[in-house]
Structure formats: C-alpha cells, structure tokens
Amino acid sequence: MQTVAPSKPATGRAVPPTVKLLINGEFVDSRSTQWRDVVNPATQQVLARVPFATPQELNAAVASAKDAFRTWRKTPIGTRARIFLKYQQLIREHMKELAAILTAEQGKTLPDAEGDIFRGLEVVEHAANIGTLQMGELATNVAGGVDTYTLLQPLGVCAGITPFNFPAMIPLWMFPMAIATGNTFVLKPSEQDPMVTMRLVELALEAGIPRGVLNVVHGGEEVVNGLCDHQDIKAISFVGSTRVGTHVYQRATLAGKRAQCMMGAKNHAVVLPDANKDQTLNNLAGAAFGAAGQRCMAASTAVFVGEAQRWIPELVEKARGLRINAGAEAGTDVGPVVSCAALQRISGLIEKGVAEGAKLELDGRNPKVAGYEKGNFVGPTIFSGVKPGMAIYEQEIFGPVLVILSAATLDEAIDLVNANPNGNGTALFTQSGAAARRFQEDIDVGQVGINVPIPVPVPLFSFTGSRASKLGDLGPYGKQVILFYTQTKTVTQRWFDDAAVSGVNTTISLR
C-alpha cells in the first residue's frame, strides 16, 4: 500500500513520485493531465507530483462513499470507536515519521510539526468516545403511556477541504468525527502539501476503516466546485482563506448542503501594563512568529495599552534573537513560508506598510540562511505605529509579521478589536481578574485567551470562531460537530394494551 509511488520515464532517469487517489479502499493512479509539484520550501526540491482529479475520478470517489454508507451507518457504535482507538495508537507510533514528512513539504520546524499532528490526534481520541457523544435524549410519560426520544443519525456522504498550513491537524479535525458518527467521507487535501495527509489516510485504513468509507481526491478549484455541487454529498467542512471559504459556503448551501467554513483572521493580543512582562513578550513572539506566522490563530496583531508600549523595544530584541533556518534543522525557531508566491506576497505587504507610514521596527526580509539560499525565508518582522486602514492591518499577512497598535485604555482596545470584521481569536495579557472578566464579556470574538496567546480549544469544547472568520453555525470538532454530522430524529411512541381501548381523539393533544 503506497500513497506516493516512485516512477521512472522510458530513459530510466528518476522522476518525482506521484501522489495517489484513494477510491473504494484502493490507492490508484490518476488519469489526469493536470499535475502540480509538491516542493520543499527550504530547498525548492520537488518531492512529488500531485494530480488534479478528473470529474470521473471525483464521481467514482463519491459513488464509493455512497455505496459504503449503506452498511457503515449500521455498524455498531463500539466497532466504530475501536477503530479510532487503534488509529490514535498508530499515529503515536508513527509521530516522528509523520513530522518529518510534514516538515519536508510544508516547512514547519520538527517540534511544531509534531504539535500539528498532536492537536489532530486529540480529535481522534475524542472520536473514540463516540458512544457517549452520539447519545440521544429520552423523556418517559410525556403523555399517558407516551415516550419521546431522539436519535442522532448520520447524514450520508460528507466532504472536507483542508488548507496547506495544517496538513495533519485539519484533516484529523474532519474525517475522524464524520466517520465516527456513521458517515462516509471524501477528503480533498491541500495540493501544496498532501503527502503527510496521505500517510495519515494510510494509517486510518490500517486501523480498520472499511473500503469506501474514506476516499481522497486531489485538485484545485474544479474539484472544490465538484464537491460543492455533487448531489450525493450532504455536508462540507472547509478551512482556509476567506475568499475561498465564502465561495464554498455560498455554492454548497445553494446546492442544499450543510456547510461550515473556518476562514481568515486578524487576531489581536491586548497587553495591559500590569501583565507579567517577560511571559507576555515570550508568548507574543512565539504566537506571532511560530510556524512562520502561517496560522489562522496566530497573534498577528498586538494592542499595547498605556505604559505597556514601553515594552516594544524588548519585544523587538526577543524577535531578533529567533533562529531562522530549515525546519528540519535542530534549534530552528522560524522556518520558511510555504511557497515562492507566499514569500512575494508577504514581502509586498511589508513594502506597503513602510509606504503607508508604519514604523518598521524589525525588517525580516532577505535573511541569509547558509545552505538554504533558495529557501522561501522571511524573518520576524515588526511594525509599530500601525493604524486601522493600513493594508498591513486590514489584510491577513499570513507570514511572520507582527503589527502593533496602541490604545490609551482597555475600553479603547476592546472597541478597536470589535471594529475589526474578523472574530477568530483574541487574547488579553493582564494580572487583573476584573479586567479579564470585563474583556471576555465585552469582546466580540469567538475564542478568547486570558494570558493564553493561541486559544484553540481542546476537543472537549468546540472551535468557535465568529463573525467574518466563520460561516455556518457549528464548529469543526467538539460537541458542535456531532450536531453538524448528524440529523436529529424525534420519535414519539405509545404501545397499546388491548384491554384498554379509547375513543376517537380529533384534537392535536396527546391523551
């Protein structure tokens, strides 16, 4: 079983391996004529070639999932749970291997790659608890001899579209919970870094997911549209940019599907003067520049309140001390961004910030990284004096760039955060319980950290981004996702005793 297969042309010269599709339990070669290179962002080495699946291949994947749903939906809940117990064990056993693949194709440091996988592993562990999570409710004697109960039944074929920045965590947010609840699934990984996703899929089959229950297609816009439009797909989960997420949500809901789209962000970290200075600055540097800033929950924006603005020079020095290198190198703090195009976009926004009058406190452009001169590197970059309306504030930079705004009071900082259209995450750094309680009550953002810079909830809770950062009512894991992947059916029943016969009841009431 190989998800990435080497190949040779007629000349015998080695060429990059090809990434396979998964259809009806088999890893198969695509017949596509459109391919994309998977490139190591630190070296520009082509690691593999990924196909853009044909319409026929997409239809075959959905048909396989539809056929498998007929039996999978009736599989005992304990059987489903045990698959995910085994799956979490396999992920743990292969953690180093998975992290190495992720780092090679995406650029993250090895410790951060393991963190990416681990946060997905937590959801797999949660899926193994499906017996408790998918329980309905029962009320007896709601009327004379009448009981009412609910069933949480699977929808059918579901689909997931995942981003490049978390090629392990986000797929693990999606297909385990969908499959554990009795659905079947078609996954479309990011075409930029699908290799670690495919290795996770391989392990999922080894754990016991049956033929056709999980399928994988690769591609770009045409495949995304095909998933949104397909009449046999009942629900779609998406994580990625606001532009694409809005398109997916509109197209999928127009086609009558459930959809949840977690999208762009501009996450503000508000710093009060009473905060623990060293801890706060360490947290800001880690949350802004970790993963080269390519996190939808990165603390990309800081709001220094009052006297806390005096800490900016110390923050700059902490950022200046971070080590820029290939993710596979020991001691690396900031690896490359995912592509040459991403590097150009980030550099262009830095130039725009300078042109618009923000103060460039630290310029991370064009760092020298010995041995990796072709890598997509940009170092930690800090702007101060940033104002609403500037491009570096209004746009999600998605790189290791921190923009700093100032506020005179906590009230002013809250108003500033609430005026931004995005509502993915925010954080407050303080030692005041009163300030923290006020902040969490008044801030209009879905996920709030108090002295926690990246407040991504553990799977016992749900991912709750809000406003322009989210479309759809329910989050991608936790209790909310059980409702997303199931249909609630309410049953009202009465069993008659032959000895007791009542007359005709022409009212709506039960008696």
Question: In 3-state terms, what secondary structure has residue 43?
Answer: coil
Average pLDDT over residues 483-496: 96
Confidence band, pLDDT 50/70/90 cuts, at residue 501: low
Residue 44: CA count within 13 A, CB half-sphere = 10
Average pLDDT over residues 246-263: 98
Answer positive or negative: Cα dihedral of 64, 69, 75, 80.
positive
* Whether residue 10 has pLDDT greater than 50: no
* Whether residue 7 has pLDDT greater than 60: no
pLDDT value for 1:
56
* Whether residue 431 has pLDDT greater than 70: yes
* Whether residue 480 has pLDDT greater than 80: yes
pLDDT value for 12:
52
Average pLDDT over residues 372-397: 98
Distance CA 3, CA 30 (A): 12
Taking only the tens place, the pLDDT of each residue in 94-116 is 999 999 999 999 999 999 999 99
Average pLDDT over residues 422-441: 98
170, amino acid identity: I
Share of the chain above pLDDT 90, in %: 94
Distance CA 218, CA 187 (A): 8
- 296 part of the active site: yes
**Structure pTM?**
0.95
Instruction: For the chain, report the end-to-end CA distance as a whole number of angstroms.
Output: 61
Catalytic residue chosen out of the listed positions 158, 228, 261, 296: 296
Helix (H) or strand (E) holding 96: helix 95-106
Share of the chain above pLDDT 70, in %: 97
Average pLDDT over residues 300-328: 98
Distance CA 257, CA 367 (A): 46
Close Cβ partners of 308 (under 8 Å, ≥ 6 residues apart): 271, 272, 273, 275
Average pLDDT over residues 281-285: 98
Distance CA 213, CA 489 (A): 23
* Whether residue 508 has pLDDT greater than 90: no
Distance CA 444, CA 418 (A): 6
Taking only the tens place, the pLDDT of each residue in 316-351 is 999 999 999 999 999 999 999 999 999 999 999 999
Close Cβ partners of 139 (under 8 Å, ≥ 6 residues apart): 147, 148, 149
pLDDT value for 179:
98
Distance CA 337, CA 343 (A): 6
Confidence band, pLDDT 50/70/90 cuts, at residue 364: very high
Taking only the tens place, the pLDDT of each residue in 436-472 is 999 999 999 999 999 999 999 999 999 999 999 999 9
User: What are 95-99's contacts with CB under 8 Å, separation 24+?
Assistant: 97/199, 98/168, 98/196, 98/199, 98/200
Task: With CA atoms as reference, report the closest residue to 107 among 34, 195, 172, 21.
Answer: 195
Mean pLDDT of the residues in the chain: 96
Distance CA 436, CA 427 (A): 10
Average pLDDT over residues 42-59: 98
**Lowest-pLDDT range of 1-15, 170-184, 429-443:** 1-15
